[in-house]
Chains A and B, each alone.
Chain A
Amino acid sequence: MAIYLRGLSYEVKGMRDVAPSPLVLKAGSHVVDVAFGAQTPTTLNLTDAEFGDEYYEQLYIVDTPAQYDGPLKFPSTAKGSVRAAGKAVNGIHAAKKAGVPGDALVDMLGEVDLAMRATLGVYEDLSLTARNDAEARLMLAMQGCPANYHKHPGVHQIYENAESVFSGVAPGTFVGPDGLCYGAPYVARWREGISAETRDWMSVAKMLELISGWSVYMGPSGGDSGPAGWLERTLGAIGDMIVSTAHAQGRRLGGSRGQFARRGGLKTPKRGAGSNPRRRPVGRNGSRAHTQTHSRRPVKSNRKIKFRGAKFSSKDAHNHFFNGEGVRTNGTFNGGHTTTTYARDVAASGARPLGSAPHPRVRGVYENRYQPRKQAGSQGPGGVRMGGRFGKAETKTVVDTAIRSARQVMRDMKQALRNGMMRPKFQPNAPYQTFNGYTKSGVKIKFHVSGHGNGSYTVRSYYYVF
């Protein structure tokens, strides 16, 4: 079977003498995602002309078949998971040395991150109220406190801003797993009384932070900035740990490890990678990079779509569809209509999945039902704390980009948009409107479009409907 790799411009072993040349994908051949091994049969002859635009992807033939060995699984104890993750990360480090491309490394790292959080039951962003035992232990360990420390004699509740306490601004205090602030005036907790188990949880926190910081660590050039033995060294010295909290200020700039300081409570390096505040910040955590890579959109997806003089700007809508717009305080998450972003958002917000139904005709499209979970900081009438409670139920249509690729989704969108604007419901002069469109194969997509006059429109949101 001939296998094609997408979008990779590197040399593969055994291919060094072959000059790379653009290929045409023939119908019936298979496209394989290197990182995940998902196979997609090509149904059309894909050429440059097919997309109506020049694009810069190079295709290379590879003779080593990629195989997907299933998701990573780690032991569910703190110690075991750190050890297994360490091994995996060392493996990735070896892969990097062997010349595996950065995209694939980020994918692998995302997988390690996901596996680690999944086995421990730890959510992506720690909120200030622990949602399970593992998270409570991790939260306390991050602050250098043993488990149940908030119940020790002499420790009492104080009234400080939990977020500032948690981010290390008020170091004499700590945040308990219930989200309340505690103070321990006469117990020396920083260096004493840390059990072996707490130490393991500290390793977990450190490991998660390391995995998140990897993309920064490699530097934009992907050079040899990752020194050997970094894992042992950093795990050995457990200092202050930084894990973003759900509502404290997130990590804006990369490269910070070590003390809390300066801007936004985080230290930024003076020179080198991450030192320029005007530079676009790097992806903040591993699984985000993971999802972005998985649901990667074709290049130049922000081109205006033109039909009969009407121009549709769809950049924001694609962003809404493929990346999502994050979790709100009330627990709902906007956009993110792929299975990976959905899983990410559910994990990050601790939402309760209610069910999932496949599309009756289209493979890879599902309608998921879930109940969002209100995040720490949510209030109810009269200022009652509502964090952790469930809100109104929602549905979201998602597409598995391993089955129906991102390129196919965008092609569907284009076809359906063209169809939708030719149906009688479409109003050329409406400032804002909703309409449905069908692709050539009868897949229904719903559009929310704002019009600016002069034949120019912005697609605000689109998604598959059943």
Chain B
Amino acid sequence: MAMEATLLGVIIMSFRTEDDIEEYAGITYKMMAADIFETFGRPVNYYFNMKGIGDGLGFGHNGVELSIGISILDDYEDYTKPIEAYGFARFSYTWEEDMEERMPLPDFVLFLKDACRVFCELHPEETEKAQAALAKAVATVEKMQAAHLEWKKAHPEA
């Protein structure tokens, strides 16, 4: 793997294997988010993940979970708040009750775009299909973000 840090602090890497993605994820994202980011490396998982997000639910791999929307209600077992109140994506491990990572939805969109970029570098032949899947997922997340902003406007105290 070729890797260099530029003056701006941006990491430039070339991706040849899925282990490169693992390393990049470890440098770029927090622990749980990095675990999820790694799973985007394999084509079968990439489309699986993007579909889960496009459906507004999230997904899980071996207990490493990403929840958005209604799945967050299940995670917290709190059904009093509406879905729009949660303006973030939640990363968690099923075997750790008291650990989680949150990522605001706008950041999450960037996260997805980054995953798509890395995936396309690794599998350039899949670029078109991958971007179509990304577009669907991003549309869902942006819709959720819009709903969240509206909810926030109606509930400024929350």
Contact = CB atoms under 8 A, between A and B. Distances in A.
B63 A334 contact: yes
A395 B61 contact: yes
A16 B6 CA distance: 77
Interface residues of B, number: 36
B135 interface: no
Interface string A421-448: 0000100000011101000000000101
A461 B31 contact: no
B59 interface: yes
Contacts of B61: 394-395
Nearest to B82: A381
A369 interface: yes
Give the size range of A's interface with the partner: 35 or more
A432 B71 CA distance: 25
Contact of B73 (A334, A380, A397, A446): A380
User: Among B55, B73, B83, which residue has the most Cβ atoms of chain A within 10 A?
Assistant: B73
A334 B94 contact: yes
Given A380-B70, A448-B93, A392 B62 contact: no
Nearest to A382: B79
A149 interface: no
Contacts of A330: 74
A395 B59 CA distance: 8
Interface in B20-51: 22-23, 26, 31, 34-35, 42, 44-45, 48, 51
B95 A325 contact: yes
B113 to A, nearest CB: 21
Contacts, number: 81
Contacts of B59: 392-395
Tell me if A's interface is mostly helix, strand, loop or mixed: mixed
B58 A392 contact: yes
B57 interface: yes
A344 interface: no
A335 B70 contact: no
A381 B83 contact: yes
Contacts of B63: 334-335, 396, 461
A463 interface: yes
A49 interface: no
Instruction: Pick the most buried of A337, A378, A396, A461: most chain B CB atoms within 10 A of its CB.
Output: A461
Interface string B62-106: 110001001101100101011100000000011110010000000
Contacts of B57: 391-393
A320 B95 contact: yes
A392 B48 contact: no
Interface of B: 19, 22-23, 26, 31, 34-35, 42, 44-45, 48, 51-52, 55, 57-63, 67, 70-71, 73-74, 77, 79, 81-83, 93-96, 99
28 contacts: A325-B95, A334-B63, A374-B74, A380-B73, A381-B79, A381-B82, A381-B83, A382-B79, A383-B79, A392-B58, A392-B59, A392-B71, A393-B48, A393-B57, A393-B60, A394-B59, A395-B48, A395-B62, A396-B62, A425-B26, A433-B31, A436-B22, A446-B62, A448-B93, A448-B95, A460-B96, A461-B63, A465-B62
Interface of A: 320, 325, 329-330, 332, 334-335, 337, 357, 369, 374, 378-383, 391-397, 425, 432-434, 436, 446, 448, 460-461, 463, 465-466
